[in-house]
Amino acid sequence: MSEISVIATSTATAADLPTARLGQRFGRLDLQSQLALLAVASLNINFDELARDRIGICLAASAGSLSTDVNFWNGRNGVGGPSPTLFAYTLPSAAVGEVAIHFRLTGPNLCFVGDNKIILSEAADMLRRGEADACVCIFCEAVTPECGQIISVPPTATARAFFLKNDSEGTGTLAEFDRDIKALSAIIFPTQSAG
């Protein structure tokens, strides 16, 4: 019976971004995409070991693209209007595209706004259904001070990534028919679970 395992986990925060070296175009990405890309890079997965069209991407963005939306909105009265580059990131799924392009992953992808636990169950389902052999999962919490002020939440900039695979050699497993999301979440999001 196949098992779904967590092969690697990583975290990226705003403090890590200034020293990130992920190509000439990294600077133009929005905060969420930068965090997501850096978190996935920090997994140190050799994607060449798998067929890239069999690697899925599953992203949950706690606040969607709201921080970028606010930046874009705030730029409307400036000379020349808001930044065209920002416009491209006024979609919660933009970070999925950036990860797919950078790592050349062409498998299925999903994007959710809100709870991080949903990506675990959805990614596991993706693997169980045979749509992919592995899945890069990312949970982004990107709330800029300007956005936080509007929605009354503290600013935050963190992305956690983990790599799920149809494998039994990972650090934690999700047995078939076992939806013990809480237990697996404790492995992936230890500080959150402890709280």
Q: Does 85 bind other proteins (CB under 8 A)?
A: yes
Extended beta strands in the chain, E state: 3-13, 55-61, 109-113, 134-143, 156-166, 172-175
d(CA 113, CA 183): 22
Q: Does 88 bind other proteins (CB under 8 A)?
A: yes
Contact between 4 and 166 (Cβ < 8 Å) = yes
Q: Does 83 bind other proteins (CB under 8 A)?
A: yes
Q: Does 194 bind other proteins (CB under 8 A)?
A: no
d(CA 136, CA 15): 22
Least separation in angstroms between CB 24 and other proteins: 5
d(CA 132, CA 141): 26
Q: Does 28 bind other proteins (CB under 8 A)?
A: yes
**Choices 55-63, 77-85, 141-149, 183-191; region in contact with other proteins by CB under 8 A:** 77-85
Tokens describing residue 171: 């650090």
Residues 6 or more apart whose Cβ sits within 8 Å of residue 112: 58, 59, 60, 61, 118, 119, 122
Quick one: which of 46, 49, 80, 191 contacts other proteins (CB under 8 A)?
A: 80
Q: Based on CB atoms, which residue is closest to other proteins, 5 or 144?
A: 144
Q: Does 23 bind other proteins (CB under 8 A)?
A: yes
| Of 135, 138, 114, residue with least CA distance to 39 | 138
Least separation in angstroms between CB 37 and other proteins: 13
Q: How many residues bind other proteins (CB under 8 A)?
A: 15
Least separation in angstroms between CB 81 and other proteins: 7
Contact residues for other proteins, defined by CB under 8 A: 21, 23-28, 78-81, 83-85, 88
